[in-house]
Chain A
Amino acid sequence: AQSVSQHNHHVILSEAASLELGCNYSYGGTVNLFWYVQYPGQHLQLLLKYFSGDPLVKGIKGFEAEFIKSKFSFNLRKPSVQWSDTAEYFCASGGSQGNLIFGKGTKLSVKP
């Protein structure tokens, strides 16, 4: 079965620190990868997505992710985090049922 694993359960950073959140997926045929963000008390919002082409994908709010096929990875990065980036981040892969297969999520806490 397809699966997505996220390496970190909880990451704590100071403002201006660089961020990298790990994500590995199991290959299920077509590669469709997503990063979603969930701010406290809110629903999930799409940060960025990758289907094909340039493996470095830029998303909203200064986030980017790099697809590395040989490593089955799709890590999320941001050069300098802000307090407002405090949220939970979910990596997801498109499933064969048309659904999304989510990782367990990584909570990011940014200290001002």
Chain B
Amino acid sequence: NAGVTQTPKFQVLKTGQSMTLQCAQDMNHEYMSWYRQDPGMGLRLIHYSVGAGITDQGEVPNGYNVSRSTTEDFPLRLLSAAPSQTSVYFCASSYVTESTEAFFGQGTRLTVV
């Protein structure tokens, strides 16, 4: 019972590099989302998807791209990494209603130098 799987767990990037954070879920959830967690800021929504082929922006989308070609996968792309993107990133999935809990991945700790 894998749940939500994120890779990698840790990553160091140089400014300007690009990379993709992977997220996969095996619960057949329609809704998937990406959050970033910064000290004293809680979790903020970056992008979300309500199903394959449908994505939308959250609160802090700048500098990130997403796509949703399958129900299971929801990768997050950093186009040109900046030090301000140093953060812990969490992927979450749930059924598409407001009243269901979200299941979170283990997180990716990203440092941009």
List chain A positions with a Cβ less than 8 A from chain B. 4, 9, 30, 32, 34, 42-46, 49, 51, 90, 94-100, 102-105
> Does the CB pair B106–A43 fall under 8 Å?
yes
Q: Which residue of B lies closest to A44 (CB)?
A: B104
From A44, A51, A99, A103, residue with most partner B Cβ within 10 Å: A99
Query: Which of B31, B99, B106 is in CB contact (< 8 Å) with A32?
Result: B99
> Does the CB pair A97–B58 fall under 8 Å?
yes
Q: Which of B55-113 contact A (CB under 8 A)?
A: 56, 58, 90, 92, 94, 96-99, 101-102, 104-107
Alpha-carbon separation in the docked complex, A104 to B35 (Å) = 13
Besides A46-B102, A49-B101, A90-B42, 18 other A-B contacts (C-beta < 8 A): A4-B42, A30-B98, A32-B99, A42-B106, A44-B90, A44-B104, A45-B104, A46-B101, A51-B99, A94-B99, A95-B98, A97-B58, A98-B96, A98-B98, A99-B58, A102-B43, A103-B42, A104-B42
Residues of B in contact (CB 8 Å), total 26
* A-chain residues with CB within 8 Å of residue B97 when the two chains form the complex: 98
8 pairs of A and B residues whose beta carbons are closest in the complex: A94-B98, A102-B42, A104-B42, A43-B104, A102-B43, A44-B104, A51-B99, A32-B98
* B-chain residues with CB within 8 Å of residue A95 when the two chains form the complex: 45, 98
> Does the CB pair A97–B45 fall under 8 Å?
yes
Whole-angstrom distance between the Cβ of B89 and the nearest chain A Cβ: 11
* A-chain residues with CB within 8 Å of residue B53 when the two chains form the complex: none
Alpha-carbon separation in the docked complex, A88 to B97 (Å) = 26
Q: Which residue of A lies closest to B58 (CB)?
A: A99
From B31, B33, B94, B98, residue with most partner A Cβ within 10 Å: B98
* B-chain residues with CB within 8 Å of residue A103 when the two chains form the complex: 42
> Does the CB pair A98–B50 fall under 8 Å?
yes
